[in-house]
Amino acid sequence: MKLFRQTAAIIAILFAFSLAEFSQNRAVLNEAQRITGDTFGYSTRTPNGASIFSVNRATPAMLKAIDQGLTDLFAVARKNNYSKRLGYSDYTIFIAKADRTKNADKQYSPDIAIGAAQYAGTEYDKGGYIYAAGIVVALNPCAFVLAEHTEDFGRVSNVVRFEGEHLVLYHNDRKRYNETADHSKGGGHPILN
């Protein structure tokens, strides 16, 4: 009977943790959907274990590029003596529909349109909205969104690394995070060299 009670208690604790994690992930999913206006009907993991939610089934090339971006992020983070949140499974990436596929110079540039907010009146303001390559959705858990790509997967790797820089800084160097989180005051990527 004692063993049964101990087992039941362990199962109850694990179930409570699972529910808490599900609610946290549901909140992050809701935020990604609010930001993009998309519904993320597909989920998978990259070969190295990052969680992916996407509007369309993620291609192997996209998944490989995401893993490469995280690999690059972790290498530069270690070079800067950061050690927290350097695991692939620490990251959730949402792949949204691109609101545009070419930038003003007619170069391939899948990006997401979001309200201008603090960028209003800057060079980025396109009439009340800006185009972003990636957007941090949540700091804990580490989550961000980027636009779906069908080519130039090197750009995907860069966007993953650059959005990840904000998250690594948040968990390892709050002062530097606060100084670099908002690009409307200048500065850009890469933040970590």
Mean pLDDT value of segment 160-184: 91
Tell which phi-psi region holds residue 15, choosing left (phi > 0), alpha (psi between -120 and 50) or beta: alpha
Q: What is the overall mean pLDDT for the chain?
A: 86
| Contact by Cβ (8 Å): 32, 24 | no
Q: Length of the chain in residues, anyone?
A: 193
Split into its structural domains, the chain has a count of 1
With respect to residue 20, please indicate whether it lies within any of the assigned structural domains: yes
Give CA–CA dist 178/102, Å, rounded: 31
Range of the domain at 156: 2-185
Tens digits of per-residue pLDDT, 115-133?
A: 877 777 777 767 778 888 9
Tens digits of per-residue pLDDT, 38-81?
A: 999 999 999 999 999 999 999 999 999 999 999 999 999 999 99
With respect to residue 10, please indicate whether it lies within any of the assigned structural domains: yes
With respect to residue 43, please indicate whether it lies within any of the assigned structural domains: yes
What pLDDT sits at residue 59? Answer: 97
With respect to residue 70, please indicate whether it lies within any of the assigned structural domains: yes
With respect to residue 150, please indicate whether it lies within any of the assigned structural domains: yes
